[in-house]
Structure 1
Amino acid sequence: MANDFDLTPDPRVLQILGEINLDQWKCLAELIDNGVDAFINSHRAGEPVDSPCVSISLPTQDRADAAVAIRDNGPGMTIEQLERAVRAGWSGNNPLDNLGLFGMGFNIATARLGMVTEVYATRAGDQEWTGLRIDLNELRRTRSYHTPRLTRPKPDPSAHGTEIKILQLKADQRLYFAKNANHQKIRRQLARVYAPLLLSKENSFTLQLNGQNVQAKRPCHWDPDRSVQGSDGKPIHAVESFDYALPSRHYCLTCMISFSGQQGCPTAGPDCKTIEVKRRLHGWVGLQRYMHEEDFGIDIVRNGRVIEVQNKDLFVWTGGERPEREYPIDDQRNRGRFIGEVHLDHCRVSYTKDRFERDDTSWAEMVALIRGDGPLQPQKARALGYEPPDAPLYRLFQAFRRSSPQGKTGRWSRILAVKNNERAMEMADLFYKGDPEYQTDEKWYALVEEEDRGIVGATPIATGPGSTAPAAPDGFLDEGDSASEAGGTDNKILEPASGTNKTEPVAVPVRQKLHELSRVYKHPLLKVEFTVEAFVVTANDPDLPRKSPWILKIEDPGTRTFLFLFDLDHPVFRSVTMTPMDAVLCELAFKTYEFLRDTSPDSAVFATILADFRGEYADDTKLDPKSIIAFADAALREIAQSIGPIGDVSVFGSLFGGLPQPAQDRIRRKLASTGISSVQAVVDSGEFLAYAEAADIRSFVSQHPELFFDGKFWAQPYASLDYGDEKVNAEARDRVIERYDAYLADAVWLASQSPRDLDRCDRDELIRATLSVRILGSDGNM
């Protein structure tokens, strides 16, 4: 009878590891990590690698001899290190400070891709490359883990590094790598997860895929120097950086667990070896220059590699009875723009390196520091007894949670948002492509400023009947943006023509560039493209025909660049339906029609062409039912939340008690459905009205007008009206309430409709109701 047991695992274990479903880019990342670790460790040891580089070679055809290779120019490994590196379960010396360290991740990644793996390593001064071969089929046949040592010639004794080559790729992997689109997908993923390292000043390295460098995906955020004033009087920047020094913890290298205190590893094993881990939480949260339904969120990083891409868990409040998403909640289309980078090096990650372990105390510690212990919504936080934290995400939320300004007098520059988000996204594409003109945020901010001053001319929904297009205020438009910038004449002095008797130069009117309309316009279906430079001009501009409101003229035939010159003071723009955007789209549609009439007569339908252009570029004029309903609901909630600043608990209790009993019951049911257990806390904070039904909010305003007029929410005078006769005063106040109640009735009607209901509504009725909602926007001193 044997005196001991042989617990050596069956070689089939390695093949089973290969059945773990790991995406191809993650397999490659596991192997890239080992090279990155080698660079970082060499740097820490004071022997940095010159021009560190990891090079990946992927097959491009589905062939039997297809192979995947990853090579780095790190310091290399000794024979002993190489043997340990590929041993299943080996964890290295300090997994907290490294990304890969071979071991289990290496075995999973290589077995996932192919049946044979060769690993070679060499150090500077070695005379040859030393390696080994892992053949899963052979190991299973012999039922042994023993594999011979291999060598190969080394022409340059000074060379150093490690090479991993995966052969006999599985059939599904060969098919995957044979598709060029998948190569691009892998490139995009690697550009994202290694961006912090590729952009690092200290640990940067070059990553190549099939001979081409992988360019890090850089964040497209607003300039960190841009800021607004917070409620506490301190500036809140578009990018809020943070760097927290945290209490040290201890880690057992043997048991791979962390613990607090000095008493030693909790397992108290004889081989336990503990180290002190200095901890630091650093990074930034900020504003993206565009909004998107999915493309936002905070990257959570470990040792320079993004583990969780665009994490949105930090936008969820989990302290109640059920999780509640808090951002985005103020955008009609559910788009977000909060981004960031949180470096959480001391928290455990899953074995697939795509998620931080939530049961690690370091995760909860990070959440409390970045967003605070309570809700991001200030009124809800007060209702639950939380003090405002000095947390970066909380501060960002207070200043920039909205995607459009508050009320009809709000400023887009106050929230750093571009109204024309489609345009903002187009410019972001140019940013990501490296276009030098779009690397700073100046072009985005020019759009923000133009919108603040109403230069482009609003849609009927934004202006209402009888509105006029405002003139460009002095000093607003770019004074230096003349026609010369688009290849035209200089805007300062025009020399007299030869043969004239004039002795004084003639001044050319300044052409003020309008960034909102200056862009590349493409027909969504036809291969027709126009580059347009738009300028506000005066009626006497030499290139503007007499009495004409605008002109579109070719400036550079080679690049198809056009000048769009328009006079904002022309009567045609004093219209509900005609804006400069309408004008330029009509001109482009006509140019396209003329082009197609000669080249493709069947496609030359002017009405269709114009409709296509408007569908692509006149998004703000669309009467989208879902957006209108959300807009009305948001306006009513904004009115309801405005009573919070009263701050008198006794008044709030009386106001809630004065509501009809059915209205109180509806509020209680709404609170119960959102997981808020303390109705009294919500009442005491004045937040109760935000949970009321739309019709109840309307009734409340009519019953308590003193809470909303005279600059409290609306600038409209109410209690301050004084005509010297109390009866006249009362009649005037009744007319104010009657007028605003009509606006509120429209808002309540819209909020109670379904998109299908609004699709069947009369267009004029829908425009009128939407205008009512806009009039309800805050114009007080909130």
Structure 2
Amino acid sequence: MTATTGATTDFDLTPDPRVLQMLGEINLAQWRCLAELVDNSIDGFMSAERLGDSITNPEVVITVPRTDTAAARVSVRDNGPGMSSETLEHAVRAGWSGNSPVGSLGLFGMGFNIATARLGLVTEVWTSRVGDPHEIGVRIDLDELKAQRNFRVARQTRPKADHAAHGTEIVISKLKPEQRAWLARGQNTTTMRKHLAKAYSALLSPERGNAVFRLDLNGTRIQARRHCTWNPERHVESPVGTVHAVERFNVALPSRRYCTFCMQTLADGEAVCPTGSSSCSVGTLERRVRGWVGIQRYLHDTDFGIDIIRNGRKIELGIKDLFEWREGESSEIEYPTDDQRKRGRFVGEIHLDHCRVSYTKDRFERDDPAWGEMVRLVRGDGPLQPLKAKTLGYGANNSPLFRLFQAFRRTSPQGKNGLWSRILVVKDNERALEMAGLFESNDTDYLGDERWWQLIEEQDATVLGTPSPVMPGGPAVPVHGDIPLGFLDDNFGGSRAALDSPSPGTTISPPPAPDRKPIFELTRKYVHPTYRVEYDVQGYAVSASDPGLSSGHPWALPLVDVATRTYAFLTDTAHDLYRSTTMTPLDALLIELSHRTMDFLRQTAADVTFASILADFRREYCADTRLDAGEIIVEAASTLTQIAASLQGKVTNSEGMILHDELSAPAREAIGRRMVARGVAAPREAIASGSFLNYADPQTIWDFFVKHPELFLDGKYWDDPFVALDYGSPEVTEEARRVVRARYDGYFADAVWLASQSPRDLERNGRDALIRASLSLKLLRPDMAE
């Protein structure tokens, strides 16, 4: 085909203006739209700093509509260095980026166009530099561009009162009706603040030094949303050595060459960008992966995971990808698996500046080699489960997440006398969540982890049967006149006034402060869920002779501070009342609060009963002691599975084959069928390693223990001696071993029975059966770390 005579040699590839409107159809959350514009402000601050002309008190001010009106608009204003006319022209052009894809946050152009078109139809940008006599601006009206069918818009100017002023403002008007309505709702403004506080936490409140910039939304300063983690100095000893509650890493990687135009990392040996564009420019990329992984002070079913950061902004929040073991097309969730309610507490922040992100900047590109490199560095090459890793031939793993997994993946202690301090878990998670709310509100008493640690110390004291620990220095109780009436009863004949104002010449010694040990587990705010009656309570364990208790009474609840409505729950924990499996200090406190609530509501809620109030309080504050049939059944299956998995790695290949052959033919066939159903590709290896027991039914696991208790006792899974027993007489020793076997037979019988029940069937067996079954499961927990 020949060229037409007189035809031009160039094609006009300027996109149709409708392209911008189509960009606005990309589903980008409102807070991410604002973040796109904030990113470019931050780049301006950082660019000025690199040029040695840092901005004093850098800030970005966002304004969103408070009412749903046609005049509503969105504004993002900064005091950055501003732009020249040429830079402004490029900045608003679709797809243009004047920034390094590695060293900058913004991709001013595509991100700008998507964000503004998503919110509204008209965008104005005004900017000026120090010394400029006026601001220059551009107005982009999508409807007008569509009508004129080209991208030409006029350059505008407006006078500037202060020639020393500088910065940029982006104003979006003609907001789309659905966006206008959403933005005007006050609750959504709060939600956006929370998202922005998380996304920019590394820049609003870095670990060292001052914040990079200040961020305001509708007149409220956005504070960094920090993770509620345990003190990094707290640590435990585990099979992989000393593991801290926060494990940090900072690893320099070999530099790579990359294209500043295509944003592609070049393969080893490549000198030029394979795209071959004349605009391509290859440079050297310095690479580093740094950050931390740690555990937060509470458990949550969704609020956990790893934040991935690019140049200071969190692109992905709370992802769970690193908790999965991926091999080919298959994947397996490895955490959380040790909590019945699937709650997790692993959190972290990983800075990954050299990995590509999506054009909407809400996800890192998983096919970028840098992503896989980071995953291997943070969690290792193999599974987090050590036995599985060993079976698959993986070597030693000392990655940060692997270490954290080994020490802290559990949410309840191992063994019959397991200590909560070994896993840093507050047993009453509802209390831990309540305290986390105070942490997020910047309550100074809860910023550190001391209050959480006090609860753990109490829990350990209960396990060990020792008195509750006392706060450092003891619970000093003042005895002067500023103590609210009722906190300390005067145990002498005179009046309180006599104590405060003794007669001239008379020396009166105040009574000694009673020995009161704080019960941190009970110290909290109690709120009735229906009637919202509130009580601030401080719990204390006291002696029977405490002046706050009437003779022989097990507890008292005096009001100790009228202004704050604070009560002191004083209870004699040695009282005969508590020598019972059905009565605890928490039960006593809830009974007392129910009585007081009943008295308070007697005149306003005629139909209220003591029983209903107590039931509500117990439902709210006794969740951990609920006998939930469904949860008990799940725990039974999980317990048996864990026992079966412990065999793996404890036998040689020949022993594994022998143990498998000892099983009955029906048991072997059932195991084989489960291997087929679960896609086990190498059944002979599974048999040789002992992992065949992972595919056994509950009864087979029990039968296996009966025949081979020596594989689980003597510190292999439980501490109880078996082979090690020696009474000097073979007959007596064998009798002692039979006693151990019989005891575990009882536990196994309960667990196997539970695993075969439905929740409805189990409920029909009554409360006592549920209590016994729960205790059996507790006694089957491992004593040894895997």
Flag whether TM exceeds 0.5 (same fold).
Answer: yes
Q: Tell me the residue number matched to 2:612.
A: 608
What residue in structure 1 maps to residue 455 of structure 2?
447
Q: Residues 337-389 of structure 1: CA distance to partner in whole angstroms, max 9, x if unpaired? A: 00000111111111111111111111111111111111111111111111122
Q: CA deviation at 1:551?
A: 1.2
Contact 1:67 1:166 in 2 (8 A): yes
Q: C-alpha separation between the residues in 1 aligned to 2:473 and 2:166? A: 58
1:100 aligns with 2:95: no
What secondary structure is seen at the aligned counterpart in 1 of 2:453? helix
User: SS at 1:516's partner residue?
Assistant: strand
Hey, what does 1:314 align to over in structure 2?
322
What is the CA distance between 1:711 and its match in structure 2?
A: 3.8
**2:345 counterpart (337, 340, 351):** 337
Aligned partner of 2:604 in structure 1 is 599
What is residue 464 of structure 1 aligned with on the other side? Answer: none
Paired with 1:144 and 1:211, the residues of 2 have a C-alpha distance of 38
Report the AA paired with residue 143 of structure 2: N
* Other-structure match for 2:474: 480
Q: Secondary structure at the match of 2:253?
A: strand
Farther-moved stretch of structure 1 (259-268 vs 310-319): 259-268
Larger deviation, residues 344-353 vs 496-505: 496-505
**2:692, 2:304 → 1: CA distance?**
31
1:430 aligns with 2:435: no
Output aligned runs, 1:270-669, within 5 Å.
270-319=278-327, 322-454=330-462, 470=465, 472=467, 480-484=474-478, 487=483, 506-603=511-608, 605-644=609-648, 646=650, 648-669=652-673
How many residues are paired up?
766
Q: Which amino acid aligns with 2:224?
A: A
Match of 1:462? none
How many Å separate the matches in 2 of 1:179 and 1:29?
A: 19
Partner residue of 2:218 out of 196, 207, 210? 210
What is the TM-score normalised by the length of structure 1? 0.93
- In 2, the alpha carbon distance for the partners of 1:516 and 1:138 equals 65
- Aligned mates of 2:69, 2:530 — CA distance in 1: 39
| Partner residue, 1:238 | 245
Q: Which moved more, 1:74-83 or 1:701-710?
A: 701-710
Aligned to 1:195: 201
Contact 1:405 1:412 in 2 (8 A): yes
Contact 2:541 2:571 in 1 (8 A): yes
Q: Does the residue aligned with 1:515 lie in a helix, a strand or coil? A: strand
- State how far apart, in whole Å, the 2-side matches of 1:487 and 1:505 are: 13
For 1:253 and 1:10, locate their aligned partners in 2 and report how far apart those are by CA, in whole Å: 27
Contact in 1 for aligned 2:72/2:173 (Cα 8 Å):
yes
Structure 2, unaligned runs of 5 or more: none
Q: Distance in 2 between matches of 1:249 and 1:502?
A: 82
CA distance in 2, matches of 1:636, 1:684: 20
Cα shift readout 1:227-277 (whole Å, capped 9, x = no counterpart): 112324x31110001111011111212333220335222234444211111
1:690 Cα offset (Å): 3.3
Q: CA deviation at 1:68?
A: 0.8
Partner of 1:257: 264
Stretch moving more, 506-515 or 663-672: 663-672
- For residues 260-309 of structure 1, the C-alpha deviation after alignment (integer angstroms, 9 at most, x for no partner) is 33522223444421111101111110001000000000001111111111
Distance (Å, rounded) in 1 between the aligned partners of 2:785 and 2:22: 66
Which residue identity does 2:590 align to in structure 1? L
Contact 2:340/2:634 (CA < 8 Å) preserved in 1? Answer: yes
Q: Which residue does 2:42 correspond to in 1?
A: 36
- The letter for the 2-side match of 1:562 is Y
* Aligned residues of 1:479 and 1:510 also touching (Cα < 8 A): no
Q: Is the 8 A contact 1:55 1:209 kept in 2?
A: yes
Question: Any conservation in 1 of the 2:239–2:785 contact (CA below 8 Å)?
Answer: no
**1:125 partnered with 2:131:** yes
For 1:305-328, what per-residue CA distance to the aligned partner results, in whole angstroms no more than 9, with x for missing partners?
111110101111111551110000
> Structure 1 residues 43, 767: CA separation in 2 closer, same or farther (over 3 Å shift)?
same
Listed one character per residue, the Cα deviations across residues 80-103 of structure 1 (whole Å, up to 9, x for unaligned) are 000000011112241221121411
Contact persistence 1:322–1:675 (CA under 8 A): no
Give the partner amino acid of 2:110.
Answer: M
Deviations 1:43-68 (A, max 9, x none): 22222111111111111112111111
Give 2:182's match in structure 1, choosing from 171, 176, 181.
176
Q: Offset of 1:714 from its aligned partner?
A: 3.2
> Does structure 2 retain, via aligned residues, the 8 Å contact 1:482–1:513?
no
Query: Structure 1 residues 279-288 or 446-455, which shifts more?
Result: 446-455
Q: 1:730 aligns with which of 718, 723, 734?
A: 734
Cα pair distance change 1:647/1:239, threshold 3 Å: farther
CA contact (8 A) 2:99 2:106 kept: no
Residue in structure 2 matched with residue 161 of structure 1 by the alignment: 167
Q: State how far apart, in whole Å, the 1-side matches of 2:670 and 2:50 are.
A: 63
Cα offset for 1:20? 1.5
Amino acid across the alignment from 2:344:
G
Pair 1:409–1:672, CA change in 2 (3 A): farther
Instruction: Look up the match of 1:752.
Output: 756
Gaps of 5+ in 1: 456-468
RMSD: 2.5
Residues 414 and 645 (structure 1 numbering): CA distance in 2 closer, same or farther, change over 3 Å? farther
Q: Is the 8 A contact 1:470 1:568 kept in 2?
A: no
1:740 is matched with 744
- Taking a change above 3 Å as real, the CA distance of residues 149 and 415 of structure 1, as seen in their structure-2 partners, is same
* Among candidates 24, 47, 56, match of residue 18 of structure 1: 24
Question: Counterpart of 1:128 in structure 2: which amino acid?
Answer: H
Contact 2:470 2:518 in 1 (8 A): no
Going from structure 1 to structure 2, the CA distance change for 1:737 and 1:37 (only over 3 Å counts) comes to same
Residues of 2 paired with 1:428 and 1:440: CA distance?
A: 11
User: Given residue 763 of structure 1, which amino acid in structure 2 is its aligned partner?
Assistant: R
User: How far is the alpha carbon of 1:425 from its aligned partner?
Assistant: 0.4
Q: Distance in 1 between matches of 2:99 and 2:108?
A: 11
Matches of 2:48 and 2:509, distance apart in 1? 73
| Cα gap change, 1:672 to 1:44, in 2 (>3 Å) | farther
Q: Within 1, Cα distance between the matches of 2:725 and 2:378?
A: 48
Q: Give the letter for the 1:597 counterpart.
A: R
Letter matched to residue 595 of structure 1: F
> Aligned to 1:181, what secondary structure does the other structure show?
helix
Tell me, yes or no, if the aligned pair for 1:484 and 1:490 is still in contact at 8 Å: no
Cα displacement (A) at 1:699? 0.6
In structure 2, the residue corresponding to 1:257 is in which secondary structure? coil
Question: Which residue identity is paired with 2:158?
Answer: R
Mapped pair 1:695 → 2:730 = no
Aligned to 1:614, what secondary structure does the other structure show? helix
- 2:152 aligns with 146
Cα gap change, 1:697 to 1:174, in 2 (>3 Å): same
In the alignment, is the contact (CA less than 8 A) between 1:409 and 1:778 conserved in 2?
no
Q: Once structures 1 and 2 are overlaid, which stretch shifts more, 189-198 or 288-297?
A: 189-198
| Contact 1:253–1:275 (CA under 8 A) maintained in structure 2 | yes
Q: Give the structure 1 partner of residue 683 of structure 2.
A: 679
2:523–2:537: 8 Å Cα contact kept in structure 1?
yes
The code of the aligned residue for 1:481 comes to P
Q: How far apart are residue 112 of structure 1 and its match?
A: 1.3
Classify 1:558/1:79 alpha carbon distance in 2 versus 1 (closer, same or farther; 3 Å). same
Q: Give the whole-Å Cα distance in 2 for the aligned partners of 1:13 and 1:711.
A: 69
Aligned-partner Cα distance in 2 for 1:569–1:624: 30
- 1:609/1:722 Cα in 2 relative to 1: closer, same or farther (>3 Å)? same
Q: Name the CA distance, whole Å, in 2 between partners of 1:480 and 1:78.
A: 66
